[in-house]
Amino acid sequence: MIESGFAYVAVLLFIAAVIVQLDKKYRKFFDYVPGIVVLYFAVMTFSTLGLWKKTDEINFYYTQLKNNVLPVMIFLMLLHCDLKKIFRLGPRMLLGFFSASVTIGAGFVVTYFLFKSHFEPHTWKTFAALSGSWMGGTGNMAAIQLALGVSDSQMGYTLMMDSINYAVWVMLLLAVVPYAKHFNHWTKADTSQIDEVGASLMADHGDRPQNMSFSDLILLLGSAFAVAALAQYVAPMLPTSAFISTYSWTVILTTVVGIIAAMTPLGKVAGISPLASLMLYLIVALIGSRANFAELSQAPFYIFCGFVILLVHAVLLALIARLFKLDLFTCGVASLANIGGVASAPILAAAYSEVLVPVGVLMGMLGYVIGTGGGLLVGKILSMI
């Protein structure tokens, strides 16, 4: 059993390396099951088998890497960004985002109505907090918990739902990426805008030098880490609220600098894509390392309710997609921008195309804005049932 933080990270990177090599060798399989999904599932399996232990050292490595590597990844991926072209997606992406928010809220209301007699009296408050998390992020959940006076002990099952159901949902959304064409055919979605943006940005990449050099790699890494560190230094100086935390500011600052840097010669340096992908795989491995299939045996009823919420959300969102002819990329990223926030939405966007990562970032940030208000509204409705 691994108890060393360094060994823990080394094993995660080695697992990622093996899967990337398998991806190159067995393309037919990985065309249907993305390498990111295989990585997530593999790491989650090893976590379940107890390959590593959640020691203080490992927890420290996990927290430090996840919190620090994410802004580095966002900066690198945003170097591919042409924001003017991304904004062409605006109205449809906003429709998808708010449709996801409303259907998540509906999922909580329907589930609480169906199983109210099985819940403890305070459950509506904890569900309100969880809905805040699933419409925004952990900061929104904490704000609602404080607003409704929910104790940490009462949040136990809800936090388990937030971890387990979220982990499975991320894996599922990544797994359905190869089937986007079938979903889009069913909804009769016009993907020309997204395809045009993706093709245009990819064409821009084609004009960039492809022969990476040591100077290119060290410039990109040095710049990305410097920007992330500077953002973390400045973020605590900025005002926070129930909607924007210090970490939110870190992401916002990194995003702004990344967008600006994309318009400079730095955005044309070779090596951006492989370095960004390396960070992406490391983050996915870290997230998967905290998931555990064995936890499904604990509080099974609450876990079941979490899946009912997600099922209601998925069915209603699919119907809205059919009605307004939305594509799977829009629906998937909108869903994960709500449920997973800025830490997850860019990962799913990257699974479709790295150049669309900014869409995931922007939608994830929007979740922070509406999460607290949306969760409190859901709580008000639950309290009346």
DSSP state letters, 277-337: HHHHHHHHHHHHHT--GGGGGSSHHHHHHHHHHHHHHHHHHHHHHHHHT--HHHHHHHHHH
How many angstroms from the chain centroid is the CA of residue 165?
A: 13
CA-only gyration radius of the chain, Å: 20
Please check whether residue 125 is in contact with residue 154, taking contact to mean a CB–CB distance below 8 angstroms: yes
Rounded Cα distance between 133 and 308, Å, is 17
Confidence (pTM): 0.68
Reported as a single tens digit per residue, the pLDDT across 290-337 is: 877 766 555 788 889 999 999 999 999 999 999 999 989 889 999 998
**What DSSP character marks residue 2?**
B
For residue 338, give the 3-state DSSP assignment.
helix
Dig out the tokens for 10 from the structure: 């080394």
Q: Amino acid letter at 301?
A: F
Report the share of the chain in percent with pLDDT over 90.
Answer: 27
Q: Which of 99 and 353 is assigned the larger pLDDT?
A: 99
Tens of pLDDT, residues 61-120: 998 998 888 889 878 877 876 566 556 657 888 899 899 999 999 999 999 999 888 888
Q: Is 204 helix (H, G, I), strand (E, B) or coil?
A: helix
366 pLDDT exceeds 90?
no
